[in-house]
Amino acid sequence: MHVLIVQKFGGTSVADARRVNHVAKRIAHSRQLGNQIVVVLSAQGSTTDQLLEKAKEINPDASKRELDLLLATGEQQSIALMSMALHKLGCPAISLTGPQAGIHSTSAHGNARIKRIEPERITQELDKNNIVIVAGFQGMNRYGDITTLGRGGSDTSAVALAASLHADLCEIYTDVSGVYTADPRIVKNAQKLNEIRYDEMLELASLGAKVLATRSVELAKKYQVNLVVRNSMSMEEGTLVKEEAIVENTYVSGLALDKNVASVSVIGVRNKPGTAFKLFQTLAKAKISVDIILQSIGRDKTKDISFTVAKQDLQQAVQVLQAGKDSLGFESLSYDDSIVKLSVVGAGMASNPGVASMLFEALYNGGINIMMISTSEIKISVLIDARDADNAANAVHSRFFSQPVGAQQSQA
């Protein structure tokens, strides 16, 4: 009985011939252990950026369909080169584009969603004893046109293939050794987690931890794909993402810092029903996603509403609100893009009411002011001044992870 593993390597891992050869050796090693292997690759290094630059030179407002056809060549080159590198090592291998691999997607060029996978060609090639190398980030719509899957697309390709092939494991190789309790570049004592639950990973991913694309974790949870995040440059064990992680004594798994946040405050909104609805409808029509929302207790006839958006949406949010000032009826607008969102995530949080107070205490001791607060079942987020970000992350991390992961005491 073979173990079937899907392995995904990012663009940095295959940036040049040397690294392609290194990754090929790694894949060959997995195969020698008796596994069946499906590999998913991104485009080499900066290839995608170079292609975007070429397109921009010709047409800064290029059609998304044509951009997809152009960008898909990056992954196509990676897979062909990897197949050649494996052949040189004596490993039978074959490369398949997204369409050839049977990856069917919606028609939303530039941000397509995988609709279904018809994996017959892949299974045929596995049966022929081949390592199958699939171009990540791409699929085919119902017209036979090539689509790309948008941000995090290759992670998503890998997880979707693992689900479709009923793979035993989906390994996401990256330049870090796994999922950490905090970003190791900011928090010196950040610890690698051996296991983490899908829900927690999802919160961490959507809260700014860049190790896995949110979409791929959602898909892994939906199809119960065992996901491992590990380092392509070391043989270290990574972090296993699964339904029930064995971290019994932990109520906080990690913290995330999202720097891509800006806040908008709408001052002096009329204090009557429907004003909030109209405000957020205006933003929704402009396709602006709103995250944390805070509404002041109404004083007399007016109240204030604050909310956060992604930094790149700030300008447009302010514009559409200003344009609708008369019908929305408010006094003034203010905004701030020098803020960050710090979040602590943990499945054990709901049954440990002390977590919030531990967080606030840590921030208070560090002299850090909290601007907004948002909570869910398994996370608490606070907005703080961007200048406080690193201090806050270290202070909070020390408070929750003073002892090795898994040995936290469950009484807060």
Across-strand partners of 380?
344, 375
Strands lying side by side in the sheet with 36-41: 93-96, 131-135, 36-41, 4-9, 169-174, 227-231, 239-242, 195-197
* Least distance to its own copies, CB of residue 39, Å: 14
Residue among 63 and 260 whose Cβ is closer to its own copies: 63
Strands lying side by side in the sheet with 379-385: 254-258, 339-345, 379-385, 372-376
Q: Which two tokens stand for residue 61?
A: 């407002």
Total of chain residues touching its own copies, rule CB under 8 A: 37
State yes or no: residue 77 binds its own copies (CB under 8 A): yes
Residue among 3 and 84 whose Cβ is closer to its own copies: 84
Residue among 89 and 293 whose Cβ is closer to its own copies: 89
* Least distance to its own copies, CB of residue 364, Å: 55
State yes or no: residue 83 binds its own copies (CB under 8 A): yes
State yes or no: residue 138 binds its own copies (CB under 8 A): no
* Least distance to its own copies, CB of residue 91, Å: 12
Return the residue of 15, 55, 233, 370 that touches its own copies, per CB under 8 A.
55
State yes or no: residue 144 binds its own copies (CB under 8 A): yes
* Least distance to its own copies, CB of residue 137, Å: 14
Q: How far apart are CA 97 and CA 197, in angstroms?
A: 32
Q: Which two tokens stand for residue 294?
A: 């805070």
Residue among 47 and 157 whose Cβ is closer to its own copies: 47
Q: Restricting to residues 18-47, which ones interact with its own copies according to CB under 8 A?
A: 20-21
Helix (H, G, I), strand (E, B), or coil: what is residue 17? helix
Question: What is the Cα Rg of the chain in Å?
Answer: 23
State yes or no: residue 69 binds its own copies (CB under 8 A): yes
Residue among 29 and 88 whose Cβ is closer to its own copies: 88
> In 175-310, where does DSSP find H-type helix?
198-206, 214-223, 275-285
Across-strand partners of 302?
270, 299
Choices 142-150, 201-209, 257-265, 280-288; region in contact with its own copies by CB under 8 A: 142-150
Q: How many CA atoms lie within 13 A of 292 on its CB side?
A: 27
Choices 76-84, 163-171, 242-250, 382-390; region in contact with its own copies by CB under 8 A: 76-84
Q: Restricting to residues 251-290, which ones interact with its own copies according to CB under 8 A?
A: none
State yes or no: residue 333 binds its own copies (CB under 8 A): no
Question: Could you tell me the maximum CA-CA distance found in the chain, to the nearest angstrom?
Answer: 79
Return the residue of 2, 3, 49, 63 that touches its own copies, per CB under 8 A.
63
Q: Which two tokens stand for residue 300?
A: 């007399």
Residue among 87 and 311 whose Cβ is closer to its own copies: 87
Q: Are 405 and 181 in contact (CB under 8 A)?
A: yes
* Least distance to its own copies, CB of residue 78, Å: 10
Q: Which two tokens stand for residue 242?
A: 């699964």
Return the residue of 15, 22, 30, 87 that touches its own copies, per CB under 8 A.
87
State yes or no: residue 88 binds its own copies (CB under 8 A): yes
State yes or no: residue 117 binds its own copies (CB under 8 A): no
Residue 278: which of 314, 332, 320, 313 has the closest Cα?
A: 320
State yes or no: residue 107 binds its own copies (CB under 8 A): no
Q: How far apart are CA 407 and CA 248, in angstroms?
A: 9
* Least distance to its own copies, CB of residue 127, Å: 14
Q: How far apart are CA 51 and CA 60, in angstroms?
A: 12
Q: Are 133 and 93 in contact (CB under 8 A)?
A: yes
Summarize as ranges the residues that interact with its own copies (CB under 8 A): 17, 20-21, 51, 54-55, 57-59, 61-63, 65-67, 69-70, 72-73, 76-77, 79-81, 83-85, 87-88, 94-95, 97, 100, 121, 144-146
